[in-house]
Amino acid sequence: MRKPAPTDRPIHPLLAERWSPYAFTGEDVDEADLLALFEAARWAASSYNAQPWRFILARRREPGAFERALSCLVPFNQSWARHAPVLALGLVHGGSAAGGSPIPVAAHDLGLAAASLTVEATHRGLAVHQMSGIAADRIRGAYALPEDVLPVTALAIGYAAAPEATPEEWRERQVRPRERRRLAELVFEERWGEPAAFLAGEPED
């Protein structure tokens, strides 16, 4: 299933096509595709090239490992993500090339890596649904994390199910329109909260 963003002006199709499904087909993800996704993440930019992101992978075809990762999500996310063929936990490593406190920028860098992974996934017809609803303490225990490693997100990866193949419980979320704030709420220039001049004439809604 596709759910392209109704953008106000053309953007790269890979960016418009990316979305976060709540239901996946039963199809597994090829090893080659999976490798490419993490290779894309690997080549993301990062502060001081510290590459602080780490991922813990779990595939549904390995039930023990999959249940362990799934149990590290909040119950709401478990209920839909259990049908994804692949789960990944996103973590940041606290080490920093420059010393100092790395966590805020490390989480930012993990986001960049996740964005690259997601674009590569979209290119391959896959969809990624990221989650902040994780049980960080559970992850810490389940994977015996070192103290300077911080769980941040999880990602469900697979092929988006068509509406008619989506369980009733998730259908509304699967098909609901994609919405965004207007650019005028996001891009300022002279003063905080005032739309940048180049936005004059943008669509009001």
Ligand X SMILES: Cc1cc2nc3c(=O)[nH]c(=O)nc-3n(C[C@H](O)[C@H](O)[C@H](O)COP(=O)(O)O)c2cc1C
CA–CA dist 114, 13 (Å, integer): 18
Asked if 174 is part of the footprint of ligand X (rule: CB under 6 A), the reply reads no
User: In this chain, which of 13, 95, 125, 133 binds ligand X, going by CB under 6 A?
Assistant: 133
Give the E-state strand segments of the chain in sequence order.
53-59, 86-93, 127-131, 149-158
User: In this chain, which of 16, 17, 20, 94 binds ligand X, going by CB under 6 A?
Assistant: 20
**112: which 2 tokens?**
């960049």
Of the candidate spans 46-54, 55-63, 91-99, 124-132, the one that interacts with ligand X by CB under 6 A turns out to be 124-132
Greatest Cα pair distance, the chain, in angstroms, is 55
Nearer to ligand X, 136 or 196 (CB): 136
Asked if 159 is part of the footprint of ligand X (rule: CB under 6 A), the reply reads no
User: In this chain, which of 122, 153, 166, 174 binds ligand X, going by CB under 6 A?
Assistant: 153
Burial class (CB in 10 A: 0-12, 13-18, 19+), 111: middle
Asked if 104 is part of the footprint of ligand X (rule: CB under 6 A), the reply reads no
- Which residue's CB comes closest to ligand X? 133
Going by C-alpha positions, the residue among 20, 27, 25 that lies closest to residue 175 is: 20
Asked if 122 is part of the footprint of ligand X (rule: CB under 6 A), the reply reads no
CA–CA dist 126, 192 (Å, integer): 38
Asked if 55 is part of the footprint of ligand X (rule: CB under 6 A), the reply reads no
By CB under 6 A, name the binding residues for ligand X. Answer: 19-20, 77, 130-133, 153, 178
